[in-house]
Structure 1
Amino acid sequence: MCGIWALFGCDCSDLVRCKEALKVAHRGPDSFQINNLEGLKNSMVAFHRLHVVGGIGGMQPMILKKYPHLSLLCNGEIYNYKTLQKEFDYLFQTDCDCEIILHLYNEFGGKKASQLLDGVFAFIVIDTKQNCVMLSRDSYGVRPLYYVTTKAGVLGACSEVKVENILLLRTLTILLLRIRHFPPGHYMFCDIMKNGKVIPSTPTKFHRIDEPPAHLQYQRLELENGLEEETVKRNIRYLFSRAVDKRLMGSRRVGSLLSGGLDSSVVAALTAQKLKEHGVAEPLQTFTIGMNSDSTDVIAARKVARHIGSEHHEITFTLEEGMKAVKSVIFTLETYDVLAIRPSVPMYILCQHISRNTNNILIMTGEGADEVAQGYLHFLEQPTPEDGHKESMRQLQQIYMYDVLRIDRCTAAHGLEIRAPFLDHAFTSYYLNLPADMRAPKNGIEKYFLRAAFAGANLIPNNTLWRKKEGFSTGVGEEGTSWFEHLQQHLEGLVKKYRFARASQSYTHNTPRTKEELFYRQIFEKKFGSKLDRICTYQRRPKWAQA
């Protein structure tokens, strides 16, 4: 996990050249570098690094002796870099996983290089021989990337929106109106003119989330043929076990978030199992949070922790502590979406505790399972299995704006790196291509087939395996009252009636519908102004959902 920033096509001499100005030091607290690129006019790049894989050679921008015309900025982890290095007989200059990108780019070009990578990434390659710059982002957008282009020939790219605060030149104020997400699973080439100006381009998709990734042809997968239920279940267990195993890559300690639900419990159990297989002596540390020791999630997680033998940590927070964190959470998330902010408050507090009180840096999480395996309760209402599949695909294509954004920002804000095995492309492409009726809920149980795949394995307690889906905002609350209900009740008296009555006049775009929405919107605009609306989207439910 790192923070990257690049600007092309304008005079950067007036730019504030200190890491505090970049606003993303939290993404890479170990090393920092900012510099101009040799031979390229009107350009500047910056990099904050979290040391996970590789030594000093992993500092960026990365320029190899073999390809002096190429420069790389990458926020990512490439899990199959050793496989590709061996397959194509590349001689590495560093011990960093990201180096493989430069070798692949040089031999195959940007599109195929992106297709061959098994990992999570947001990277920029500057090619002074071809006079171009390339941007690329992983299939689900697990690593963030924003970009801006202007007709005046300016291109900017950064890990977080708040980086726009460093664009102090008056000529660049137009960028504040056009900053947007770089779409996941896409790449983009922009030509660079002799004067450093950039010719704008459009992102192009390099693969779909439901098609098998190109990198699979270089991996030995022991998949069984056929769609018999037991065969499919074995394949699911095998692929997901691999997804967890490859995400243990790195030199820093691995911890796991644990809510006591199916997703986080399976991830934590497999993580503990794999660490033992790799000979790691220290036990897996697991972490849960609630408003008190009797919160639903805390009780459930405690039971799972005993089962898997983890060193378990229970963190509690009060309503006052939660309210105090709201402003920081909104600045961290860069959104005013209610369904993103509510669960992010306890998540933010939990990650802060992990960072301050433990030596865990790599954090395993269960994000993505609900989208892949149809875990949200509204999937129970799907008219047909085909409708459920379409909704699952829609949510996965947009997950970078919601759950992935939330978990990335909450961890990165505290110098932690998230690992999400349920968004492993080999696993998800297999699961999404199973028959739609096999993946649909059964007997009123969401994520039925995923649960059934792990039944009988004694990986987690049986009542955890079949525990009904419960929202994180509900599970961390007190008995009888969820966290978000406490929040709503508190804000009801905090926001004045007359301000809410004028909300439709003050906010014509995404008009706040509740006092809670208005409260978040006011904080957001104080932090970012009103010009970032187009990157802020409320989470949507399918038309057939009742709530």
Structure 2
Amino acid sequence: MNCRSRRCPRIVCGIVAAVGEIDVQLCRNMLARIKHRGPDDTGEIRRGNVWLGHQRLSIMDVDGGSQPMTDTEEKTYLVANGEIYNHRHIREDLGHELFETGSDSEAALHALIVDGPVGLARLRGMFALAFMTADGEFLVARDSLGVKPLYWVRRDDVTLFASELRAFEPADRPLVESFPPGHCWTPNGGLVRFADAVPARVRPARRAEQPGVWDEALVKSVREAVVTAVENRMMSDVGIGVFLSGGLDSAIVAAVAAEYAKRHDQPLPTFAVGAPGSSDLAAARVVAEYLGTEHHEIVMTKEAAQAALPKAVRAIEHYDPSLVRSSVPNLLLAEYAAKRVHAVLTGEGADELFAGYSYYHEAPFTDPDALQAELVRTVEELHHLNLQRCDRTTMAFGMEARVPFLDRDVIELALSIPPEHKMLAPGRVEKQLLRDAFEGWVPDEILNRGKEQFGDGSGAKDVLEAAVRTSPDLPEGISLRSDEEAGFYSIWHSSFEGIRPETTLGHFATT
């Protein structure tokens, strides 16, 4: 199962791992339940009391790109989901002679071989991985933001890991927990943090001498950080597109991606979804025409949205109303786009970094320190909400979503900006600094377009509220915020009975 080819691709996949008293059939059953994350190939290996499994989507190098990946002497093994964006730098640091493939996952393998768990600090990207040696050493890790999902069950006889909740047997579901981002775990060392979602050195941000007045140097630094993050996520041997909602954030991503595509003489497909006549479809069309992209529109009918509702709840493994509303059109869009590209860029994270949501501008967040604390908190909680939707709706069809605004350098820069610069004032709207940074890159009408939730702009909100007007009976001890949420919870509970609400909702669970 070596990954020997020089053209081994980045891997879109799902992983399962186990350490302890191994039940191979149980592990295989778990892996089979997440086959949608990588329907083209299944790989597994057992060494002693450790088992690793991998579901792969073959993008290139079908014969040589399988995982588990191993070193030349077959003493170490790795399964990984996601991307290591700085893999070329790691190759240079460790020495190209160590590497046999072009895979970014191999950079993680050798970083761990050379440095042990400390090697995780080298990795910049989105990942969930499991690593073992032939003599039984074992490590699991998840990226600092939790862009890539990972769950675990700790039993007395075995510890189990998987990319999605659905992988676990019903008997294990009450024990399932979300594996914490930025942590690694070993049987001997336990759970150890290796990276923070928001590095401590950017908190609290410095205070602005002149709130709302920024110089061209700051505007340029924001623009350059975002451009670099988008371009790093464009490097691939496969087709890449952009989910274009018609809002500011996805328009910026599309604009940078379009410039990159033109320089490299490659097409840029963009994809938009909405109800007939929805504002999102109209705005996305304006952006696509301005940038000259290969644009695709999915017109979401009421019937299609309601039919997709239970599929969306099961796909995202979640029942938060705002998340479900946006997941339904996202799922329909992903199903269409996955037939044309293997990866898409999205605008996730910009609102949390630059204070795009309306509630950020209401009490108590009109105080700069309170606003800064809330921005940090919401970035740290993204793995429970938007990132969960982002991963699941795309991976339901074996397609990867990439989130350039959540690049580590962008996060560090954005959260080091004085919070006063993100607050509303006469003549300024939300995310004014970001708008200034990309003036001329997107149409003026989009640059000045106000924030609209994706579920609202796409037209999904009204359709889905009408679909769940009657509140179902809820399990004892569960109290929810609305009939709509109760309806979504009922769908979720029917598929994930036994899973505790806090496992998927984290801080937002209501019991």
Q: Does the TM-score normalized on the shorter chain lie above 0.5? A: yes
Q: Is the 8 A contact 2:253 2:347 kept in 1?
A: yes
For residues 509-541 of structure 1, give each alpha carbon's deviation from its aligned partner in whole angstroms, at most 9, with x where no partner exists: 3x1332212211221121111433231328759
Residue aligning to 1:316: 299
Q: Is the 8 A contact 2:183 2:191 kept in 1?
A: no
Letter in 2 for 1:178: L
Q: Distance in 1 between matches of 2:157 and 2:87?
A: 35
Residue aligning to 2:4: none
Q: Distance in 2 between matches of 1:14 and 1:271?
A: 44
1:205-224 equivalences in 2 (<5 Å) = 205-210=194-199
Residue aligning to 1:143: 148
Letter in 2 for 1:163: A
Q: Distance in 1 between matches of 2:424 and 2:65?
A: 45
Secondary structure in 2 aligned to 1:360? coil
Residue aligning to 1:255: 241
1:73 equivalent to 2:59? Answer: no
1:419-498 equivalences in 2 (<5 Å) = 419-443=402-426, 445-455=429-439, 458-477=440-459, 483-492=460-469, 495=470
Q: CA deviation at 1:30?
A: 2.5
1:533 equivalent to 2:485? Answer: no
Secondary structure in 1 aligned to 2:318? coil
Q: Distance in 1 between matches of 2:432 and 2:191?
A: 40
Q: Distance in 1 between matches of 2:117 and 2:244?
A: 38
Q: CA deviation at 1:360?
A: 1.0
Q: Distance in 1 between matches of 2:24 and 2:467?
A: 48
Q: CA deviation at 1:201?
A: 2.1
Q: Is the 8 A contact 1:338 1:538 kept in 2?
A: no
Identify which of 6, 10, 18 aligns with 1:7: 18
1:507 equivalent to 2:490? Answer: no
Q: CA deviation at 1:75?
A: 0.4
Q: CA deviation at 1:264?
A: 0.4
Q: Distance in 2 between matches of 1:228 and 1:520?
A: 44
Q: Is the 8 A contact 1:329 1:345 kept in 2?
A: yes
Q: Is the 8 A contact 2:85 2:125 kept in 1?
A: yes
1:327 equivalent to 2:324? Answer: no
1:48 equivalent to 2:55? Answer: yes
Q: Is the 8 A contact 2:120 2:194 kept in 1?
A: no
Number of equivalent positions: 484
Q: CA deviation at 1:13?
A: 4.3
1:142-291 equivalences in 2 (<5 Å) = 142-150=147-155, 152-165=156-169, 173=171, 175-191=172-188, 201-210=190-199, 229-280=215-266, 283-291=267-275
Letter in 2 for 1:207: D
1:488–1:63: structure 2 CA closer, same or farther, 3 Å change rule?
same
Q: CA deviation at 1:368?
A: 0.7
For residues 51-101 of structure 1, give each alpha carbon's deviation from its aligned partner in whole angstroms, at most 9, with x where no partner exists: 3576644321111124x3321111021111112211231421222111111
Letter in 1 for 2:481: R
Unaligned runs of 5+ in 2: 1-11, 203-212
Q: Is the 8 A contact 1:291 1:316 kept in 2?
A: yes
Letter in 2 for 1:508: G
For residues 177-201 of structure 1, give each alpha carbon's deviation from its aligned partner in whole angstroms, at most 9, with x where no partner exists: 221111112222223xxxxxxxx82
Q: Is the 8 A contact 1:451 1:465 kept in 2?
A: yes
Unaligned runs of 5+ in 1: 168-172, 192-199, 214-226, 478-482, 542-547
1:146–1:508: structure 2 CA closer, same or farther, 3 Å change rule?
same
Q: Distance in 2 between matches of 1:454 and 1:33?
A: 44
Q: Is the 8 A contact 2:347 2:403 kept in 1?
A: yes
Q: CA deviation at 1:208?
A: 4.5
Q: Distance in 2 between matches of 1:16 and 1:417?
A: 24
Q: Is the 8 A contact 1:57 1:95 kept in 2?
A: no
For residues 211-263 of structure 1, give each alpha carbon's deviation from its aligned partner in whole angstroms, at most 9, with x where no partner exists: 589xxxxxxxxxxxxx9621011111111111001101221101111111100
1:336 equivalent to 2:322? Answer: no
Q: Is the 8 A contact 2:15 2:162 kept in 1?
A: yes
Cα RMSD, aligned residues only: 2.3
